[in-house]
Amino acid sequence: MASIKFYLQSTKSPAGIYVRLRDGKAIDAKAKTKYSINPSDWSAKKGQPKKNDADPKSLSNKLKDLDADLLKHYTNSIGKELINSEWLKRFIHPAPKELQITEKLLEYFDYYVKCKGNELSGSSIKKLNVVKSLISRFEGETKTEYFIKNIDLNFKLRFEAYCVKHKYAPNTIARAIIFIKSICFHARANGILTNFQLDNIKVKYNKADKVYLTLDEIKQIEKKKLVADYLINTRDWLLISCETGQRVSDFLRFTKDKIVVENEKNFIEFTQQKTGKLMKIPLSKKVLAILKKRKGDFPQVISDQKYNDYVKEVCQLAGLTQKIKGSLKNPETNRKETGVFEKWELVSSHIGRRSFATNNYGRIPTSILKYITGHSTEKMFLEYIGKTQTETAMQAAEYF
């Protein structure tokens, strides 16, 4: 008769719990379970936790369930499979099932990510999961499971009403619907039936306030006397970002070994983390002056989060206290809310990139600016700095 015993192989905490299945001399299989415990809480004699908790979620009850399931699996496998330690490992740690194409909206998100593979960046996958979670909550409240074919104008209205009820920002709702449409278009390309109204689902973005530092404000920050080293270090990074137009994920990784000199001009070469593009951009006199002050080195490396916190402090000390309209994340709801705030409160690690693009628009050809910022099209660049087609046309008219 088969016997099952749980045991530990380590005296260090946490120690993995192992299982051994024996049946006479023919069967002796061992494998590590997915559970662990502090050895001081384990009874070696009984082969179970000392504390026998009645809670069904307790470790002792999970092991009892595993014992019963394993015995059942063993009985069903006799004469059909080779029973050994590999067989036991496959039972405890089964291989993930192959993801199949599905007509369900929520499940299709996973299939979409699988199909896209390395085409999607980590940030894109994160955004998709945020939208997926939102849809899951929406389905839960409406007690409706949506299929790809259900995404029509009525779905849009119901989804928008749910989001408004739960105080999601208009642009957040619009982005979620755009993601849902992208999922449905991908499903259509894979032979899944979509609703005839899908192409008619439209969204409208509210023009967001584009916060940036003016040239005068940058000078104000540059001239401010700072005492603390971490603030001086942060200011230098801020000035570098205002001169190079790069994302925080890129400029905080600048090092002197990435600098190249060609025709007596200094450039920095790097690969953008978000896009994977190989970049080579010129270094301005202001950046070179910062490097000279630091004996050829860039400022001390800090984390993205610390930079995001410190740069607000730098701008506050520099006197950027004027009240302006903008959006800040409410820590209680974790969602952005529009209001009027002092400008330094709205400053983030992104401010240098947008300041570079905005301050140089009209001074440097847009084709060169979008190359430096990494925007794929001029339309994306203009949206980034908040320029409408009308504003651009009026600016062009000044040359005639």
User: Residue 227 has what DSSP assignment?
Assistant: -
Q: How many CB atoms lie within 10 A of CB 202?
A: 10
Residue 204: pLDDT over 90: no
Question: Could you read off the pLDDT of 352-371 as tens digits, one per residue?
Answer: 999 999 999 988 898 899 88
Residue 399: pLDDT over 60: no
**Taking the mean position of all CA atoms in its chain, how far away is CA 248?**
14
Please tell me the distance from the alpha carbon of residue 144 to that of residue 152, in angstroms, as a whole number.
Answer: 14
Of 132-136, 172-176, 295-299, 331-335, the range with the lowest mean pLDDT is 331-335
- The two beta strands, 42-43 and 48-49, are antiparallel
Which structure tokens are listed for 389?
């087609």
Of the chain, the end-to-end C-alpha distance in Å amounts to: 96
Please tell me the distance from the alpha carbon of residue 371 to that of residue 357, in angstroms, as a whole number.
Answer: 11
Which structure tokens are listed for 375?
């925007």
Our separate counts of H helices and E strands in the chain read 16, 10
User: Residue 89 has what DSSP assignment?
Assistant: H
Is residue 223 within 8 Å of 237, Cβ to Cβ?
Answer: no
Question: Could you read off the pLDDT of 217-267 as tens digits, one per residue?
Answer: 999 999 999 999 999 999 999 999 999 999 999 999 999 999 999 999 999
Please tell me the distance from the alpha carbon of residue 120 to that of residue 231, in angstroms, as a whole number.
Answer: 35
Average pLDDT score over residue span 311-322: 96
Residue 288: pLDDT over 80: yes
The whole-number pLDDT of residue 400 equals: 46
- More confidently predicted of 94 and 181: 181
The whole-number pLDDT of residue 53 equals: 66
Nearest 5°: CA angle at 350, between 344 and 355?
80
Which structure tokens are listed for 256?
């002197």
* Burial of residue 67, with CB atoms counted within 10 A of its CB: 0-12 exposed, 13-18 middle, 19 or more buried: middle
Nearest 5°: CA angle at 114, between 148 and 170?
55
The whole-number pLDDT of residue 300 equals: 95
The whole-number pLDDT of residue 31 equals: 94
Going by pLDDT thresholds of 50, 70 and 90, the confidence category of residue 3 is very high
Nearest CA among 150, 149, 117, 112 for reference residue 129: 112
Question: Could you read off the pLDDT of 103-143 as tens digits, one per residue?
Answer: 999 999 999 998 888 788 777 888 999 999 999 999 999 99
Long-range contacts of 40-46 (CB under 8 A, 24+ apart): 40/13, 42/8, 42/15, 44/7, 44/8
Query: Token match 């949206």: residue?
Result: 383
Which structure tokens are listed for 173?
């709702």
Q: How many CB atoms lie within 10 A of CB 245?
A: 23
Question: Could you read off the pLDDT of 53-80 as tens digits, one per residue?
Answer: 666 578 888 999 999 999 999 999 988 8
Report CA-CA distances (Å) from 297 to 21, 233, 259, 292. 62, 12, 10, 8
User: Angle between the 170-189 and 105-116 helix axes, to the nearest 10 degrees?
Assistant: 70
Is residue 26 within 8 Å of 45, Cβ to Cβ?
Answer: no
Q: Which residues are CB-contacts of 169 (< 8 A; sequence separation ≥ 6)?
A: 327, 335, 336, 337, 338
Is residue 64 within 8 Å of 42, Cβ to Cβ?
Answer: no
Report CA-CA distances (Å) from 73 to 4, 7, 33, 151. 12, 20, 15, 42
Question: Could you read off the pLDDT of 138-165 as tens digits, one per residue?
Answer: 999 999 999 999 999 999 999 999 999 9
Is residue 241 within 8 Å of 356, Cβ to Cβ?
Answer: yes
SS3 59: helix
Question: Could you read off the pLDDT of 369-395 as tens digits, one per residue?
Answer: 988 888 878 887 887 787 655 555 555
Q: How many CB atoms lie within 10 A of CB 45?
A: 6
Domains located in the chain, CATH noted: 3-92 (no CATH), 105-200 (1.10.150), 215-397 (1.10.443.10)
Nearest CA among 39, 47, 66 for reference residue 7: 47
